[in-house]
Every structure is written in structure tokens, then in C-alpha cells.
Amino acid sequence: MTVDPRTAPDVDASDVIGPEDELPPAAPAVSFDSTPDTLGGYLRRWWQGVRAGELGSLPIIVGLIIIAIVFGTLDSTFYVERNFTNLLLQMAATATIAIGVVFVLLIGEIDLSVAFVGAVGGVTMTLLLRPDGAHWPWWAALGFALIVTTTIGLVQALVITKAGVPSFVVTLAGLLIWNGVVLILTTQYSTSGTIRIQDETIVGIANDFLSDFWGWVVAGAGVAGYALVQLQTARSRRARGLDAKPLVVIVLQVIGLALVVGAAVWYANRDRGIPSVTILVLAMFLLWSFVASRTRFGRHVYAVGGNAEAARRAGINVDRVRILVFMIAGFMAGLGGVILASRLRSVATNTGGGDLLLNVIAAAVIGGTSLFGGRGRVVSALLGALVIASISNGMGLLNLATGTKFVITGLVLLAAVLVDSLSTRRRAARGVV
């Protein structure tokens, strides 16, 4: 028998369910966020996080120190000023391309084509610059090359999202296709397969150095900017009654950054100075870190990588996020390809080949970006590229055989992935409350 809802008495909830004391009291209230406004509280919280598996950049910094000690002990030229600036030059292209790869990994996809897409960018620019050919101004050739690589990212992304083909397969096809395009273009315009870049500005990208003075100016501006952002954030949080970084922590972090940056500038200035390309890489790092951590788009990137279904239900256009991410990867690959071409002052049939692809993906992963999506930061591209460049540089000084180099690089990659999966397990263990 159905009970007619119309006969329901017009009463409010408390009358129907009777006195409140029928329900036992809620769990005892625990106040939010015990404010760690002291240095001790802040450190304690950080250490709790580390023990719970929130390692952040800690393992890689420890790893870098170990690498520096090992290679420095084995061959003292590792510490020489000239080698330091070389290291900064060697990591630039890897770090640039790896920034794009971090975004792709964050949404839980992979892009195997980045190395050759970058090469297509470098070759396109070089061909447009040829004095006996198109002879475009440097900015037009550079801009067009970046448009080309970004469009390649767009096209690959459209196949991935609209046709539902896994990114692994699409970009694997892309790897072959763009490798072929590089071969076709370089052999068509040169019998030797090598095309030299004769534009001074483009060659200067990866071969010029800041004067000592400008090195200090940039370093000072960077540290001051960091301090301002930190203070601003803390002030706006306090204004809303939220917990904020204690002032003493900010001061210590600024001093720490100033010491590291100052030491780097001082050391580089004893040689040729800070390479211009390092400034370009840092600018890209700041730009994309901002995009990833401070913008709505960045938040959606993490959401798509963490739980695409949740993102969809929250009204996020998941396909649009995916497409933009592959376009970012194409753009950064193009820029990396330009840096690579500039550094070698030429492009050749083997541009983008070799271990470039493995290095950029390894850099992102070694830096702490998860292959499974949703976890990682842009800074991991830089730290990972620094590790890869240090190992390769150190082994080069030791005159190790290529085979040995590959084995050691592979072991470092494995160690990085192990650290990640062990810390993930710790987080999972903590998750089961």
C-alpha cells in the first residue's frame, strides 16, 4: 500500500526525529591547522611530511651532492670553473624539452616524439635563415619554427583526444615521422647533411655569456623577486587568518637562495660568466612553474592527471586541457631544438637522435615527476636535467666508454623511480587511516 505523501504532517525535522540527544555527539573537535608560526614548528611539520613520504626535491638534491662528490673525487677537473659553465650549457636543451614532458606526464600521458619534433624546429629555423635561401630575419625564423612545433603538438593531440588513440602509439608514430622529416630536409638542402647557422643572434643563444655585472644584476633581481613573492603570499594568508610561513623561515630561505645563486654567479664569472641560455631556461622555468601551480589551467592539468573522471564531472573540458598540454610540449620541444642547433651552430641528419629522447624523459622522471600522472613539478625538469648532464659530463671527463655511460645513466634512472615508488608506498600506507 502506498502512503499518500499529502498526509504527511507539516512539521519540521526536529519534531519528526525527536530530541537531538538520540544522536551521540560528533567526534571530538580537532582544531584546524595548528599554526606553525615558529621555525621549530615549521621544521617539525616538514620532517613529518618527509617521513610520511612527501619527499619533494630532497632525494634529488642529496643525489646531486653525491654525484658531485663522486666525480669530483675521481677527477678534480669536474670542479673546474670552465666545467661548471659547460654543465650549464649542456643541460639547457634537455631541461627545456623536459619542461614540456613534465606537463605531458602530469596528465598521465607520454610524448615520445619530443626529441625529433625539437629537431624539426631547429631544422626549420636553420633552413629559413640560410643566406642563399629564404634568409629570414632571426626572430621570424625562430617564431615560425616554434609555431611549426606547437602545431605538430596540436595535430598529435587531436588524434589522441578525438580518435581516442593512446598517446604512446601516436607519439611513437610521430617519432618516426619527424625523424624522417629531419632526414629529408637536411639531405635535400645539403649534400653533407649538415647545415651551418650563420645568424649571429641565433648562434648567440647558446654561445653567449652575460658580463660579470649583468650576472650579478640578474642574480640580485631573482633573489629579490623570490623574497617579495614569499612575503606577499605570507601577508595575504595572514590577512585571512590562515597559517603562513613564519618570517624567520622566509628570511632563512632567501639567505639560502642568495648564497646558492651568489656562489653560482661568482664561480661562473671566474670563467666566462653565466651563459645567456641559462637565463632563458630559468625564464621558461618561472613561466611554466607559474602556469602549473598558480593558474586555473595548471590546477586542471593536475586534476586531469589525478582523476580524469572527477575533472569531467567538475565541468572541466578534459580534451581541451590535453590538447593544450601537448601544444606546450611541442612548443618547449621546438625551443629546445633551437637551443641545440644554436649550441652546435648547425643542424645535421642526426639532430634530435641519439639519447636525447631518453634523456629528456629520464630528466623529468629523475626530477620526481610521476609517470602515472598528477604528481610532479616543473622544477623536476631542471633538477633532472642537471643530474643527467652532471653524470654525462663527469663520465666524459673520466673517458668512460659509451656503453658504460648508458649502464650508469640507466641505473640512476632506476634509482630515481625506486625512490618515487617507495615514497608513494609510504604515502599510501599513511592514507589508510
Closest CA to 336 of 183, 181, 119, 147: 119
| Contacting residue, 3, 19, 401, 403, with another protein by CB under 8 A | 3
Count residues binding another protein (CB under 8 A): 56
Binding mask 267-306 for another protein (x = CB under 8 A): ---------------------------xxxxxxx-xx-xx
Regarding 30 and contact with another protein (CB under 8 A), the answer is: yes
Closest CA to 397 of 82, 66, 92: 82
**Which DSSP helix (H) or strand (E) runs through 196?**
strand 194-196
| Contacting residue, 375, 386, 389, 423, with another protein by CB under 8 A | 375
**Which DSSP helix (H) or strand (E) runs through 195?**
strand 194-196
212 contacts 273 by C-beta, under 8 angstroms: yes
- Report in angstroms how near the CB of residue 238 gets to another protein at its nearest: 9
| Contacting residue, 192, 309, 399, 403, with another protein by CB under 8 A | 309
| Contacting residue, 316, 332, 340, 388, with another protein by CB under 8 A | 316
- Report in angstroms how near the CB of residue 39 gets to another protein at its nearest: 19
- Among the candidate windows 29-37, 76-84, 161-169, 176-184, which touches another protein by CB under 8 A? 29-37
| Angstrom distance (rounded) from CA 365 to CA 377 | 10
215 contacts 273 by C-beta, under 8 angstroms: yes
- Among the candidate windows 8-16, 186-194, 199-207, 250-258, which touches another protein by CB under 8 A? 8-16
- Report in angstroms how near the CB of residue 301 gets to another protein at its nearest: 11
| Contacting residue, 19, 21, 32, 399, with another protein by CB under 8 A | 32
Calculate the alpha carbon distances from 241 to 227, 235, 251 in Å: 21, 10, 21
Q: How many CA atoms lie within 13 A of 128 on its CB side?
A: 20
Regarding 16 and contact with another protein (CB under 8 A), the answer is: yes
Residues 231-270 that bind another protein (CB under 8 A): 236-237, 239-242
Which residues, listed in sequence order, are joined to residue 347 by a DSSP beta bridge? 195
Regarding 26 and contact with another protein (CB under 8 A), the answer is: yes
The 10 Å CB-count burial string (b at 16+, else e) for 167-197 is beebbeebbebbbebbbebbeebbeeeebeb
| Angstrom distance (rounded) from CA 125 to CA 140 | 9
Which residues does 279 contact at the CB level (< 8 Å), separation at least 6? 210, 218
- Among the candidate windows 1-9, 153-161, 327-335, 384-392, which touches another protein by CB under 8 A? 1-9
For the packed helices 276-294 and 81-106, what is the interaxial angle rounded to 10 degrees?
A: 30
Regarding 320 and contact with another protein (CB under 8 A), the answer is: no
- Report in angstroms how near the CB of residue 41 gets to another protein at its nearest: 13
Regarding 24 and contact with another protein (CB under 8 A), the answer is: yes
- Report in angstroms how near the CB of residue 18 gets to another protein at its nearest: 7
Residue 406 cell numbers, joined: 648508458
Interface with another protein (CB under 8 A):
1-6, 8, 10, 12-14, 16-18, 23-24, 26-27, 29-33, 52, 236-237, 239-242, 294-300, 302-303, 305-307, 309-311, 313-316, 374-375, 427-428, 430-431, 433
